[in-house]
């Protein structure tokens, strides 16, 4: 994957995450990572630099995560997170399209939404999802 394509992918996934209702996506200085957050809860992490090892780490259903790891060489157990509930996807993957990874980002976001306290969840989901 070219550096331009890789850079575009980082921008695309950042923008996609920022467009989810009430989500924040920003560079977290203390972790040196692009951090995806909703109501103080993490729903993703992404490498900010261009490299062959750059990844995006997302929350997922444990059974689906296992299936995805079996199907795709570019998906592995979550890096530095709970290996059952999180997966890491290589940003230079050609096995998965941007739209497929967008769907994974949204799924991760929705898993966090569903675990928020009812009053916060209602505020987020009203007219948004």
Task: Say how far apart CA 6 and CA 8 lie, in whole Å.
Answer: 5
| Model pTM score | 0.92
- Report pLDDT for 50: 83
Q: Extract the tokens encoding 57.
A: 């780490």
C-alpha to C-alpha distance for 124 and 116, rounded to whole angstroms: 10
Q: Where in the chain are the domains?
A: 3-111
**pLDDT for residue 79:** 87
Gyration radius (Cα) of the chain, Å: 14
Q: Give residue 128's pLDDT.
A: 66
**Residue 78 per-residue DSSP state:** P
Please give the chain's pLDDT, 129 residues, in tens: 567 877 899 999 999 999 999 999 999 999 999 999 999 999 999 999 888 899 999 999 999 999 999 999 999 999 889 888 999 999 999 999 999 999 999 999 999 999 999 988 888 877 665
pLDDT at 127: 61
- Name the CATH code of domain 3-111 (choices 3.40.190.80, 3.90.1150.30, 3.40.50.300, 3.30.1490.270): 3.90.1150.30
Q: Concatenated DSSP letters for 47-85?
A: --S-STT-EEEEE--HHHHHHHHHH-TTEEEPTTS-TTT
């Amino acid at each position: 994957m070219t550096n331009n394509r890789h850079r575009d992918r980082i921008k695309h996934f950042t923008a996609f995450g920022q467009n989810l209702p009430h989500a924040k996506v920003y560079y977290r200085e203390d972790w040196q990572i692009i951090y995806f957050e909703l109501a103080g809860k993490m729903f993703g992490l992404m490498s900010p630099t261009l490299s062959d090892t750059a990844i995006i780490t997302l929350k997922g259903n444990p059974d689906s995560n296992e299936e995805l790891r079996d199907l795709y060489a570019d998906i592995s157990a979550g890096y530095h997170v709970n290996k059952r509930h999180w997966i890491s996807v290589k940003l230079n993957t050609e096995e998965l399209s941007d739209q497929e990874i967008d769907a994974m980002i949204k799924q991760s976001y929705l898993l966090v939404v569903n675990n928020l306290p009812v009053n916060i969840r209602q505020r987020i989901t009203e007219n948004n999802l």
